[in-house]
Amino acid sequence: MKIVLIGFMGTGKSSVAPLLADKLGLDTVEMDDLIVQRAGQAIADIFAAGGEPAFRALEARVSDALQDRHNVVISTGGGVVMDQTTWEYLSKNAVVVELTATFDTILGRINPAALPRPLFADETQAKALYELREPLYSKYAAIHVATDGRSVEAVASEVAKQLKEIDKP
């Protein structure tokens, strides 16, 4: 089984992935960590040096490397749905789970000082990006779980429950 968590930044993908993986006896992969390892620099530095195109190129290479992984929960970056090739690599033989949250909830969760997010530097720009990506997350996912006002444990349990439902013959 390969589970791919998608959704906008701040919806809980990185927090839910390890708990879900533990519940299901799977490994966890954090795509942003793999991108940082491959680049040898922080995401903010990748953006500073080469902009979003440089980051997306690294994301595509990491997605290609993950396309045949099994027994894993993959936590993605919010932009994986923006590039068709990246998306095809990542979604190959996967159950795609969308984690959702309102933009107001996301604003409450994001702390740019603690974790710089290059595409969330301006709230108006971030809101436009949120509105652009939301329909794509919804389109690509088989499972949709709202994370507003819920604990990470509750979200992981709900995803596991819905996975079992779609796995029934």
Task: Give me the helix-helix angle, 43-66 and 84-91, nearest 10°.
Answer: 50
Task: For the sheet with 2-6, list strands across it.
Answer: 27-30, 72-75, 2-6, 95-100, 143-146
Q: Return the domain boundaries, the chain.
A: 2-164
CATH class of 2-164: alpha beta
Q: pLDDT digit string (tens) for 52-71?
A: 899 999 999 999 999 999 99
The CA-based angle 23-151-158, given to 5 degrees, is 45
The residues facing 38 across adjacent strands are none
Are 96 and 141 within 8 A, CB to CB? Answer: yes
Q: pLDDT digit string (tens) for 9-52?
A: 899 999 999 999 999 999 999 999 999 999 999 988 998 899 88
Quick one: pLDDT at residue 102? 96
